[in-house]
Amino acid sequence: MIDAPLFPMSNTHSPPAPWDDRCWIIGEVAQAHDGSLGMAHAFIDAIADAGADAVKFQTHIAAAESTVDEPWRVRFSPQDERRYDYWRRMEFTPEGWHGLAEHTRRRGLAFLSSPFSEAAIELLEDVGVAAWKVASGEVANLPALDRMLVTDRPVLLSSGMSDLAEVDRAVERVRQVGRPLAVLQCTSAYPCTPDKVGLNMIPAFARRYGCAVGLSDHSATIFPALAATTLGAKVIEVHVTLSREMFGPDVVASLTTAELRQMVEGVRCIETMLDHPVDKDSMASDLAPLRDLFTKSLVAATDLSAGTRLQTLHLACKKPGTGIAAERLPHLLGAVLRRDLKADQQLQMEDLELPDGGQGRADDA
């Protein structure tokens, strides 16, 4: 059963995770830079300006991760004969990766990159990443995961291509060494339609694994991220494009930087709302002055003489609500006026002789 808690929280002391304080928002560049180091740097600035917490790349070393016969997922690049050639074109030098990481940190963001080989892990360990992001296609690569776990960095585990058993095995591996962990619901579809987003898995993963959970989204809209935040997501990852007109296979599954900024604002607003639950009675007390302005009191519908026995036609409900509350109208029918009233003049309880012969008092209102 998915609701069964498989893994208790670890007692191993580990550094705090960057998503402990608030929802951690990651702008995913992936290969949107198309092999241009300058474009990769431009993405860092754009994602920082949008207010995200982290920038994530992908580190591909073609000879370490693929054979020359790797097929295309989508044949999109006219300049690359083989997918292997494309991966080679996406490679940056170690100096290039260090420069990207330093730029990211100067902008106040965390630097992340998903490794796709053990050689990439070695490179990124030297460069320094804030956490290890295990891509959907790498969840079953337990030797690579074990290599990441030699370090003390937190782990972000995507789940886009895995069944529960496969995710279970990876989670167990991470928990055995006590690393901070976040499991991300992900659907590896580009773009991902609303019926495939799988928001139900966010609370399900939280119950099953007892750890932070999040969403790696490919919908190209801000809505799944906002909904996931209300469900307790502590990590949101979205692909980013500088323009819908850019080249690349992930553009259709990406947010523009303007949309990213809007999503960040929405997530922070939702966090504020969730962090400040409202006590309805206390709020009503705080809003009492406004209540007097917006609620209504009973007033004379027309000029009335003393001795008039009140009927519905004699009364009207009008603002402000500083007199007898409008809801009291049925209780005052049959009462006799003790003085003349002008049209729109508020009734006061001392103006009335009640049907039972009693005299109205202020506290009767």
Q: How far apart are CA 186 and CA 184, in angstroms?
A: 6
Q: Which two tokens stand for residue 97?
A: 């990766």
Q: How far apart are CA 35 and CA 57, in angstroms?
A: 12
Residue 8 has pLDDT above 70, yes or no: no
Residue 358: predicted pLDDT: 53
Taken in order 256, 129, 84, 65, the sign of the CA dihedral is negative
pLDDT tens across 10-57, in order? 444 456 899 999 999 999 999 899 999 999 999 999 999 999 999 999
Q: What is the overall mean pLDDT for the chain?
A: 91
Supply the Cα-derived Rg of the chain in whole angstroms: 32
Supply the DSSP symbol for 219: S
Three-state DSSP at 106 gives helix
Residue 191: predicted pLDDT: 93
- Are 254 and 225 in contact, with CB atoms under 8 Å apart? no
pTM: 0.84
pLDDT tens across 78-127, in order? 787 787 888 888 899 999 999 999 999 999 999 999 999 999 999 999 99
Residue 284: what are its φ and ψ, rounded to 5°? Answer: -60, -40
The single-letter code of the amino acid at 176 is: Q
Residue 268: predicted pLDDT: 98
Residue 6: predicted pLDDT: 59
The single-letter code of the amino acid at 156 is: L
- Are 140 and 162 in contact, with CB atoms under 8 Å apart? yes
DSSP states of 9-70 as a string? Answer: PP-S--PPPTTSSS-EEEEEEETTTTT-HHHHHHHHHHHHHTT-SEEEEEE--HHHH--TTP
- Domains of the chain, CATH where assigned: 24-275 (3.20.20.70), 286-364 (3.90.1210.10)
Q: How far apart are CA 153 and CA 127, in angstroms?
A: 13
Residue 361: predicted pLDDT: 45
Taken in order 236, 241, 245, 247, the sign of the CA dihedral is negative
pLDDT tens across 327-337, in order? 999 999 999 99
pLDDT tens across 174-222, in order? 999 999 999 999 998 889 999 999 999 999 999 999 999 999 999 999 9
Residue 355: predicted pLDDT: 77
Nearest residue to 91 (alpha-carbon basis) of 59, 120, 122? 59
Pick from 79-83, 260-264, 291-295: least confident: 79-83
